[in-house]
Amino acid sequence: MMAADQTVHGVPSSLSAKVVGSFAYLTVRDRLPTILTKVIDTIHRNKNKFFEEYGEEGIQAEKQTIALLSKMRNELQTDKPVLALRDTLQDTEYWNQYLQKQQKLQGDEESVSWFKSPWLYVECYMYRRVQEALWLNPPISDYDVFNEGKTQSFFESQQAMMALCTYLEGVNKNMEDLSKNQLLEHFNKLLQVSLWGNKCDLSISAGQDNSQKTSPIDSLNSLQPFILVNDSNMVWSTLISAQKPGQSEKTTAVRVDIVLDNAGFELFTDLVLADFLVSSGLAHEVHFHGKSIPWFVSDVTANDFQWTIQQTMAANHKWMSKNGVQWKSHLKEGVWFYHDHRFWTQPHEFCDMAMDAPDLYATLQGADLLLFKGDLNYRKLTGDRDWDYTVGFSTALRGFGPAPLCSLRTLKANVQVGLQPGQGEKLGSQDPDWMTSGKYAVIQFYSSKSEQKD
């Protein structure tokens, strides 16, 4: 049997906490237990609420959920084997099959455990086990343990959101008079705002405040040198060449899908970008893809998505509330769509999607452009493997490409491809944390039509 950490046919091993001192190791050793402790604390703090809602049953559920989570934290910290799931959710069977697959890959001598298995797998598994602990305690099954942090991050970014809405209003008001170059300039700005919005996730900071306090437009120039790969011209040309004038309404609709990452400020920047895409006519439909369960602390669920739009509508700021109303109407009128699919909360690399979630793959094939937000999506696009920095993005995608796609990601994990020779080494010597600090970013594009990037 092939060991999971070997390079097979040029495909490098998965990142793993097995490598002592690596970012994966430090995440599993320090960050994940901290996140679990916060989850436990949140559930405990809400004890009275559960009692008010469900009486004694709520208190029992609180206790049992905490007991399950503490047990998991102990399994993690003592590197115990990863256990099969015991709940009855839609994807339980998939997870348990995946565990068997991992066991086969690792061989029978060593069990699949927290520190010895692929980091991507165990990290996803931890969030799925949090869901299991809640699910096994029915009155509080639907409780989102990360909700408090997500709402707080939304409120703490209000100033930045207002500044963004004022900017968007200025653009939308003059849309008719904009030259193509001016349109391109606004497009680049809003794409970069959405890119840097990804700095604000709560998983990298183990739940600490990570909101946006300053005007996002004003900081763009100074952030420019930190974009290591910038393929935005290809994103733009993809949108331009997708315009099919003169055909019937149905065939001319340009569709952009945004695979969302974090709630709070990042989601807001994605909604602003989507608003601009529609108001400029660059896209006619935007499909958002979120998570079906609370995930990686701050990722967007259907509830977060709806809540954000409600809050935007209710804001005490003229342009912000105007945007909220507009966004609600986009959803109602079938201009914007929100989807979730269990595949997004499974541990698979995206190159497995065509096989493991063919329905989702087919949905994505309907897009003219796919925008993948954030670090976790990048890890899944590239398989979270130990690639050389100069390997082409298309090589790392390993056949994944339902439509032209672009990753908008700040670097928060040590996987990076598509760099110039020497670029990664130079960064490493100047700034040892360059891959994990969220200070650097990429706008990285791939299309099977062009294959320019390899």
DSSP 262: B
Determine the Cα–Cα distance for residues 288 and 322; give it in Å rounded to an integer. 20
With respect to ligand F6P, which residue has the nearer C-beta, 26 or 331? 26
With respect to ligand F6P, which residue has the nearer C-beta, 204 or 254? 204
Our finding on whether 66 is near ligand F6P (CB under 6 A) is no
CA 6 to each of CA 12, 384, 385, 432: distance values in angstroms, whole numbers, following the listed order: 7, 14, 11, 26
Residue 245 burial by CB count (10 A; 0-12/13-18/19+): exposed, middle or buried? exposed
Residue 138 burial by CB count (10 A; 0-12/13-18/19+): exposed, middle or buried? exposed
CB of 147 to Mg ion, least distance (A): 15
413 contact, one of ligand F6P, Mg ion, none, CB 5-8 Å limit per kind: ligand F6P
**Neighbour count for residue 234 (Cβ, 10 Å):** 19
Could you tell me which stretch among 125-133, 236-244, 317-325, 371-379 binds ligand F6P (CB under 6 A)? Answer: 371-379
Q: Which of 210, 262, 311, 407 binds ligand F6P (CB under 6 A)?
A: 262
User: Pairing relation of β-strands 441-446 and 405-410?
Assistant: antiparallel
Find the binding residues for ligand F6P in span 397-426 (CB under 6 A): 412-413
Q: Which of 132, 231, 270, 299 binds Mg ion (CB under 5 A)?
A: 299
Our finding on whether 384 is near ligand F6P (CB under 6 A) is no
- How many residues of this chain interact with ligand F6P, rule: CB under 6 A? 16
Find the binding residues for Mg ion in span 250-279 (CB under 5 A): 261-262
Could you tell me which stretch among 2-10, 63-71, 219-227, 372-380 binds ligand F6P (CB under 6 A)? Answer: 372-380
Residues in the chain, total: 454
Could you tell me which stretch among 86-94, 198-206, 310-318, 422-430 binds ligand F6P (CB under 6 A)? Answer: 198-206
User: Pairing relation of β-strands 285-290 and 336-340?
Assistant: parallel
Q: Taking the CA of residue 439 as centre, how many other CA atoms within 13 Å lie in the half-sphere pointing to its CB? A: 9
Find the binding residues for ligand F6P in span 202-231 (CB under 6 A): 203-204
Q: Does residue 196 contact residue 223 with C-beta atoms inside 8 Å?
A: yes
Q: Enter the tokens of residue 320.
A: 């912000």
CB of 156 to ligand F6P, least distance (A): 17
Q: Does residue 103 contact residue 111 with C-beta atoms inside 8 Å?
A: yes
Determine the Cα–Cα distance for residues 396 and 432; give it in Å rounded to an integer. 23
Q: Which of 196, 296, 389, 446 binds Mg ion (CB under 5 A)?
A: 296
Our finding on whether 196 is near ligand F6P (CB under 6 A) is no
Our finding on whether 231 is near Mg ion (CB under 5 A) is no
Residues that bind Mg ion (CB under 5 A): 201, 261-262, 296, 299
Residues that bind ligand F6P (CB under 6 A): 27, 31, 123, 198, 201, 203-204, 261-262, 296, 374-376, 379, 412-413
